[in-house]
Amino acid sequence: MMRKGDDRFRAVHEDEPLFITGRRTGRVIAYRVFSASVFFCICWIWLYRVTAPVEVDENRTGLVRFVWLVMLVTEIWFGLYWIVMQSPRWNPVWRFTFTDRLSRRYGDDLPRLDVFVCTADPVIEPPLMVVNTVLSVAALDYPPEKLAVYLSDDGGSELTFYALAEAAEFAKVWVPYCKRFNVEPRSPAAYLTCKASGFDSAETEEVARLYKEMAARIETAARLGIIPDEARLKYGDGFSQWDSHATRRNHGTILQILVDGRKGNTVTVPTLVYLSREKRPEHHHHFKAGSMNALIRVSSKITCGRIILNLDCDMYSNNSKSARDALCILLDEKEGKKIAFVQFPQCFENLTKNDLYASMMRVGYDVEFNGLDGNGGPLYIGTGCFHRRDVICGRKYGEVEVEEEEESEYISETEMIKALASCTYEENSQWGKEMGVKYGCPAEDVITGLGIKCRGWKSAYLNPKKKAFVGVAPTNLHQMLVQQRRW
């Protein structure tokens, strides 16, 4: 947001909203007529059941009366269920943003944005895929000095760290290249796949060569499980944080700032941070919710972005303008003030046309989320969501927002920041309850979003034609069952 007392941009187009909320009247009326007709039928069925005489039970077994009673109860139950299910369909809305107005009003004076990418297992989530996600957000259309990308590695894997270190080097070429040539999408793997038939310029060819070399180094390291010696020397500060008996479930906090764009450092690449929070077998780690809370605390002492974007490691940014779209909602002077978070749908690139397991969730994302948005806002679904930092940390609607702090002159000591990601930090605190992402539920995202709503906030749903984030969905029955059981 703007700095205190800085109103250079305020005067420009002050009154124009940054987004509008649209309704599709024809479609809504058609649905309501259909819905009313179904309701009418339901009422008739109820009336019939209650008024039609029960046949005389000749054998006096009571069976006929019993069947009648069960039918009555089931029909009432289905009817009520159907009525409740109309709420996410009754009043759908669509949001449209004006990023040009945002640019005119704020220029590059945008709030700091911290992106959290979570990964947990270098085998299931290959480091090369993870760094593609990181690179795609590092190249967002956003001032690099205002952007920071944090990778949380719950797998505590040297391979993931190595891949991120390689990506930090490659980013110095990739980010300026994307901005200069307005590249889309900004995940190098996805972009270079579309260009596979031929490169249009010498620059693209050079970038493709550098990417392929990097990818080969990362994949070889992952396959052999060996980090090259040169990398160990070059990134000694990072690797030295793994002691000889560190395992996935038992290690200290590992924190390395690979690119430091804080005060005084001119950068073309955003701040890039690797974090693997402390894990000990005797302490519960609370899965992704635990890692998100560690990220919230650690980032608060590094860049303290006022806005937080949270992404699963398999969801790359497919539209470099998505952060600006979300800010159109969050920074809107009138309507935006009530909105705590902006949720984009989860889209997937690995599905076939028939989408055997219905992973596209089309009813959810194309119908019900718009309906929920007309009713206070969609759920938080754990990825592709822009939050206000202070709201996720517990601010209630109506409480005064703390002005964005200038980055402090004093850069906190790494050891002090590491303590924020220790296993014991949250003991006897409100973390996981009133603060941060909630614990105790496998679908931590949904209950966290509902908790925010209970504090008086609304949310907004953005589903632009050009998909904002694209990921990987389960493709076989086993993976699908595991996921559904957790939800």
Ligand X SMILES: O=c1ccn([C@@H]2O[C@H](COP(=O)(O)OP(=O)(O)O[C@H]3O[C@H](CO)[C@@H](O)[C@H](O)[C@H]3O)[C@@H](O)[C@H]2O)c(=O)[nH]1
CA 238 and chain centroid, separation: 27
CB count within 10 Å of CB 287 equals 16
CA 158 and chain centroid, separation: 25
Pick the closer one to ligand X by CB: 188 or 290. Answer: 290
* Both structure tokens of 378: 């969609």
Element (H, E) at 317: strand 316-317
Pick the closer one to ligand X by CB: 97 or 256. Answer: 256
Q: Does 136 bind ligand X (CB under 6 A)?
A: no
Stretch that binds ligand X, among 34-42, 98-106, 228-236, 283-291 (CB under 6 A): 283-291
Q: How far is the CB of 442 from ligand X (least distance, A)?
A: 6
CA 264 and chain centroid, separation: 30
Check: CB of residue 466 under 8 Å from CB of residue 310: no
How many residues at the interface with ligand X, by CB under 6 A?
A: 18
- Check the CA dihedral 343-307-313-173 and report its sign: positive
Of 382, 432, 436, 449, the one binding ligand X by CB under 6 A: 382
Q: How far is the CB of 387 from ligand X (least distance, A)?
A: 13
Q: Is 154 a catalytic residue?
A: yes
DSSP 228-278: -HHHHHHTHHHHTTS-TT-BTTBB--EEEEEE--STT---SS-EEEEEE--
Stretch that binds ligand X, among 102-110, 117-125, 407-415, 456-464 (CB under 6 A): 117-125
User: Per the annotation, does 125 bind a ligand?
Assistant: yes
Site for ligand X in 284-323 (CB under 6 A): 287-288, 291, 312-313
Q: Does 125 bind ligand X (CB under 6 A)?
A: yes
Q: How far is the CB of 6 from ligand X (least distance, A)?
A: 36
Pick the closer one to ligand X by CB: 105 or 288. Answer: 288
Pick the closer one to ligand X by CB: 24 or 284. Answer: 284
Site for ligand X in 401-460 (CB under 6 A): 443, 445
CA 292 and chain centroid, separation: 11
Stretch that binds ligand X, among 43-51, 118-126, 164-172, 424-432 (CB under 6 A): 118-126
Q: How far is the CB of 245 from ligand X (least distance, A)?
A: 21
Pick the closer one to ligand X by CB: 62 or 440. Answer: 440
In the sheet that holds 469-471, the strands lie side by side as 316-317, 469-471, 347-348
Check: CB of residue 231 under 8 Å from CB of residue 397: no
- Check the CA dihedral 161-166-167-171 and report its sign: positive
Q: Is 445 a catalytic residue?
A: yes
What are the helix (H) ranges across 62-157? 63-84, 87-90, 99-106, 127-138
Stretch that binds ligand X, among 50-58, 116-124, 241-249, 348-356 (CB under 6 A): 116-124
Site for ligand X in 167-196 (CB under 6 A): none
Q: Does 120 bind ligand X (CB under 6 A)?
A: yes
Question: What number of CA atoms fall less than 13 Å from residue 401's CA on the CB side?
Answer: 19
Check: CB of residue 360 under 8 Å from CB of residue 351: yes
* Both structure tokens of 249: 């479930």
Q: How far is the CB of 133 from ligand X (least distance, A)?
A: 9
Pick the closer one to ligand X by CB: 153 or 184. Answer: 153
Return all residues near 294 (Cβ < 8 A) that are at least 6 apart.
Answer: 152, 275, 277, 420, 421
Of 18, 93, 113, 118, the one binding ligand X by CB under 6 A: 118
Q: Does 383 bind ligand X (CB under 6 A)?
A: yes
Q: Which amino acid is at 206?
A: E
User: Per the annotation, does 458 bind a ligand?
Assistant: no
Distances (CA, A) of 413 to 235, 255, 335: 19, 11, 40
Nearest-CB residue for ligand X: 382
Q: How far is the CB of 287 from ligand X (least distance, A)?
A: 4
Check: CB of residue 437 under 8 Å from CB of residue 445: yes
Q: How far is the CB of 99 from ligand X (least distance, A)?
A: 25
> Could you say which of 141, 154, 314, 325 is catalytic?
154
Stretch that binds ligand X, among 23-31, 114-122, 324-332, 462-470 (CB under 6 A): 114-122
User: Per the annotation, does 154 bind a ligand?
Assistant: yes
281 preceded by a cis bond (ω within 30 of 0): no
* Both structure tokens of 350: 């690995």
Q: How far is the CB of 426 from ligand X (least distance, A)?
A: 15
List binding-site positions for UDP-alpha-D-glucose.
Answer: 125, 154
Which residues have a catalytic role annotated? 154, 445
Q: Which residues are annotated as a binding site?
A: 125, 154, 288, 312
Provide the annotated binding site for Mn(2+). 288, 312
Summarize as ranges the residues that interact with ligand X (CB under 6 A).
118-120, 125, 152, 154, 287-288, 291, 312-313, 382-383, 443, 445, 483, 486-487
